[in-house]
Amino acid sequence: MSVLIKNGRIITAADDYVADIYIEGESIAQIGKNLDVNADTVIDASGKLVMPGGIDPHVHLDMPFMGTYSSDNYETGTRAALFGGTTTVIDFILQTQGKSLQSALNEWKGRSDNNAVGDYSFHMAVTDFNEETKKEIQHFIENEGITSFKTFMAYKGALMIDDRQMIGLQEEVKKHGGLINVHATNGDMIDYLIAKHKAEGKLSPLYHYLSQPEVTEAEASERFVDMINYTGCPGYIVHLTCEGALNAVRNATRRNQNVFVETCIQYLLLDASLYEQNFEGAKWVMSPPLREKKDQETLWAGLNQGMVQVVATDHCPFMWEQKLMGKDDFSKIPNGHPAIENRMELLFSEGVNKGRITLNKYVEVASTNAAKIFGMFPKKGTIAVGSDADIILIDANEKHTISAKTHHMNVDYSGYEGWELTGKIKTVLLRGQVVIDNNECKAQKGYGKFVKRNKVQGKI
């Protein structure tokens, strides 16, 4: 099968030019002006922006968490991602404390194999680092193509590791060419504040926010960057939300330290005032919580300064019924919010169309940097000869409105209900197949492939 995309305005992290793209099978075969080729399918991209497919390196699909499962599985989640222009996601496997990494991988494969519509990969969350787990790291990096290891500095008793385990894991991961992801918040401080608020009868979603003040994230981020400075292991802070945490990273760079930072679309666009309504605020109960307007300014600036390299989602949806588990106690509300389908269009509308970031920056933070950081570049994350033909076509001027009535995520509300956006993803190709066209998904469950990743460079 071959596809010719004609006359599009091609945007990569570095380039902006009009040309044709010729695709043979799963990858890009030629790029040039007025290509003289015959193709099975011809797509007229005149007037459209043509960009690499989005990469969301932070999603939780079908994940057991807080006594329930996130409500999008690999089929519904990756399909919704495709509708929103994200062609590859990286999901998190969670080790069960006391069990091996391999048993966790087997469990996750049981849910993901043959179910995804879009491409996916895995990070491995190490929740119990010991002499046995240590022996498994090299195998994961060299044979499984899982080269990033998630650590939690919070969620004590289930996911959190202590600093002793953290240092040991970093040394082992560095030795074999991997990277450490971190949920950087001070779990003990948060647990203290949760218990205090509950003892005082403060049980509404607002107290989820007040139990995780900025200092809990700033302190843990600083501790983490100090630890990776000591071990020399490449590090990536997931879902960074605030000025205090970004300043910890900024300070670390003054000693020429390398560390990567991800924020999520919600932290750029939403703020903590959403918690000031009764239980409705549960829609945005996530960890870390939404912050202040000044933090949004910091994050947009951080993108333009190159201090924040990735905009992800931390997509972790729960049905309203599931959120109601915490009706009388904010600490029982499953943490997470849905955005896998909305990230690319929200960032385009609020970022590019409102003049906050350039088109090239958009591609960089929504696709290219994640591919580079996590060992998928140049197979994923760019438009170049030899790369996978993961391509999106955007109409930069088309207006549309977000609603749970029309989205494709398996969740019965939207955190962005009624938001009017400018810029619509019209066509999506994944490995040379048109998977989204005219608001219709053309790919079946099972089309999505697991992406084996390379050792990381620790640099982009």
* Binding residues for ligand URP (CB under 6 A): 60, 183, 286-287, 314, 316, 335-336
Say how many CA atoms lie within 13 Å of 368 toward its Cβ.
19
335 binds, among ligand URP, Zn ion, none (CB under 5 to 8 A by kind): ligand URP
Amino acid identity at 55: I
303 binds, among ligand URP, Zn ion, none (CB under 5 to 8 A by kind): none
221 binds, among Zn ion, ligand URP, none (CB under 5 to 8 A by kind): none
Closest to Zn ion by CB, 183 vs 453, is 183
In the complex, minimum distance from the CB of residue 283 to ligand URP, in angstroms, rounded to a whole number: 12
User: Buried b / exposed e across 326-344, counting CB within 10 Å, b at 16+?
Assistant: beeebbebbbbbbbbbbbb
Dihedral-angle region of residue 374 (phi above 0 means left; psi in -120 to 50 means alpha; beta otherwise): alpha
Size of the site for Zn ion (CB under 5 A): 2
Q: Which of 27, 39, 29, 34 is nearest to 6 (CA)?
A: 34
Residue 246 in tokens: 């970004």
Q: Which residue is nearest to Zn ion (CB)?
A: 183
286 binds, among Zn ion, ligand URP, none (CB under 5 to 8 A by kind): ligand URP
In the complex, minimum distance from the CB of residue 120 to Zn ion, in angstroms, rounded to a whole number: 15
Closest to Zn ion by CB, 370 vs 389, is 370
Closest to ligand URP by CB, 302 vs 336, is 336
Q: Is 314 in the site for Zn ion (CB under 5 A)?
A: yes
Which range binds Zn ion by CB under 5 A, 207-215, 260-268, 312-320, 429-437?
A: 312-320
Contacts of 370 (CB under 8 A, 6+ apart): 55, 56, 57, 90, 310, 312, 376, 381
In the complex, minimum distance from the CB of residue 267 to ligand URP, in angstroms, rounded to a whole number: 11
Closest to Zn ion by CB, 65 vs 362, is 65
**Residue ranges in 164-183 that form contacts with Zn ion under rule CB under 5 A:** 183
Q: What whole-number distance in Å separates Cα of residue 439 and Cα of residue 428? A: 10
Closest to ligand URP by CB, 91 vs 390, is 91
Query: Is the CB of residue 320 less than 8 Å from the CB of residue 396?
Result: no
3-state secondary structure of 188: helix
Q: Which of 148, 179, 346, 144 is nearest to 263 (CA)?
A: 346
Residue 73 in tokens: 């599985």
In the complex, minimum distance from the CB of residue 194 to Zn ion, in angstroms, rounded to a whole number: 16
**N residues, the chain:** 460
Within 188-284, strands assigned E span: 235-237, 260-264
Closest to ligand URP by CB, 4 vs 339, is 339
Q: Is 62 in the site for Zn ion (CB under 5 A)?
A: no
In the complex, minimum distance from the CB of residue 66 to ligand URP, in angstroms, rounded to a whole number: 9
Q: Which residue is nearest to ligand URP (CB)?
A: 335
Closest to ligand URP by CB, 60 vs 361, is 60
Longest dimension (CA), the chain: 73
Closest to ligand URP by CB, 316 vs 429, is 316
Closest to ligand URP by CB, 121 vs 287, is 287
Within 160-298, strands assigned E span: 179-183, 235-237, 260-264
Contacts of 49 (CB under 8 A, 6+ apart): 8, 9, 11, 359, 393, 394, 396
In the complex, minimum distance from the CB of residue 150 to Zn ion, in angstroms, rounded to a whole number: 8
In the complex, minimum distance from the CB of residue 182 to ligand URP, in angstroms, rounded to a whole number: 11
Q: Is 123 in the site for Zn ion (CB under 5 A)?
A: no
Query: Is the CB of residue 31 less than 8 Å from the CB of residue 50?
Result: no
CB atoms within 10 A of CB 400: 17
In the complex, minimum distance from the CB of residue 60 to Zn ion, in angstroms, rounded to a whole number: 6
In the complex, minimum distance from the CB of residue 412 to Zn ion, in angstroms, rounded to a whole number: 21
Q: How far, rounded to the nearest angstrom, does the alpha carbon of residue 110 sit from its chain's CA centroid?
A: 22
Residues binding Zn ion (CB under 5 A): 183, 314
